[in-house]
Structure 1
């Protein structure tokens, strides 16, 4: 159960980073108040009621206002994700350094070796007491 929770947390954090750094644009075409078309990837299709201006005489022709409207929604993602260690204050640097040092020391195995018996020789065995009393540890 713990591994499933860790995998779910890792995947959700990866998607969170992905969606916060992703930029996208939505193009929309309105005809009056009604949304005609929208697109995430390319230009939108128009409804065909756009005013066509002729390139022959731009001065003499009067242009009508079109009822159509194009809108573009731009969502910018976060670009500056890498924080440098130099931008931190002295207190923050001290905290990070002490945290890393204490965290690394949690996983070091400290072996305590008891060498007190190495300086003394074992007592001489006069009689084997376990054989004498017939008591054996199995």
Structure 2
């Protein structure tokens, strides 16, 4: 049971490391206030109502506001997985070292049982002659 739990935990931690370094984008296309398309890893399709952004009329440029809007959400993954010991400030370093020291010392302490009869050997076993020869008085 413990081995299975350790395997499941290690698999979950490996997936956590993989997902924390994974980065992706989500693009959304809105037409007015309505969501038309959502796409991951690619460009969202437009609604087909894209109009000309500007109208040229004798060197007069009038910009027309489009009803469509694109929204891009970028999820950046973690670049550096290992925090170096120099990036941790001094009180955290002291706490880490003292915690590690006390944890390893608590694991190395074994409960020693001192037995009083440890130095003495047991007496020799004297077999019962009647049981040895299987002679019983009936």
Instruction: Check whether the contact 1:49–1:66 (CA below 8 A) recurs between aligned residues.
Output: no
TM-score where L is the length of structure 2? 0.61
* Alignment partners' CA distance in 1, 2:84 and 2:15: 23
* Alignment partners' CA distance in 2, 1:15 and 1:24: 16
Question: Greater share of strand residues, 1 or 2?
Answer: 2
Please tell me whether residue 21 in structure 1 is matched to residue 24 in structure 2. Answer: no
Instruction: Check whether the contact 1:85–1:93 (CA below 8 A) recurs between aligned residues.
Output: no
Instruction: Check whether the contact 1:27–1:72 (CA below 8 A) recurs between aligned residues.
Output: yes
Q: How does 1:31-42 map to 2 (within 5 A)?
A: 31-42=31-42
Please tell me whether residue 70 in structure 1 is matched to residue 50 in structure 2. Answer: no
Q: How has the CA–CA distance of structure 1 residues 92 and 42 changed in structure 2, closer, same or farther, with 3 Å as cutoff?
A: same
Instruction: Check whether the contact 1:51–1:65 (CA below 8 A) recurs between aligned residues.
Output: no
* Alignment partners' CA distance in 2, 1:57 and 1:85: 65
Structure 2 residue runs without a partner (length 5+): 110-125, 130-138
- The partner residue of 2:101 within 98, 101, 105 is 98
Q: How has the CA–CA distance of structure 1 residues 59 and 27 changed in structure 2, closer, same or farther, with 3 Å as cutoff?
A: farther
The more displaced of 84-93 and 21-30 is 84-93
Computed over aligned residues only, the root mean square deviation of the Cα atoms, in angstroms, reads 3.6
Instruction: Check whether the contact 1:25–1:75 (CA below 8 A) recurs between aligned residues.
Output: yes
* Alignment partners' CA distance in 2, 1:25 and 1:99: 45
TM-score where L is the length of structure 1? 0.61
SS at 2:51 equivalent: coil
Q: How does 1:84-123 map to 2 (within 5 A)?
A: 84-86=84-86, 87=88, 89=90, 90-92=93-95, 94-95=97-98, 98=101, 102=105
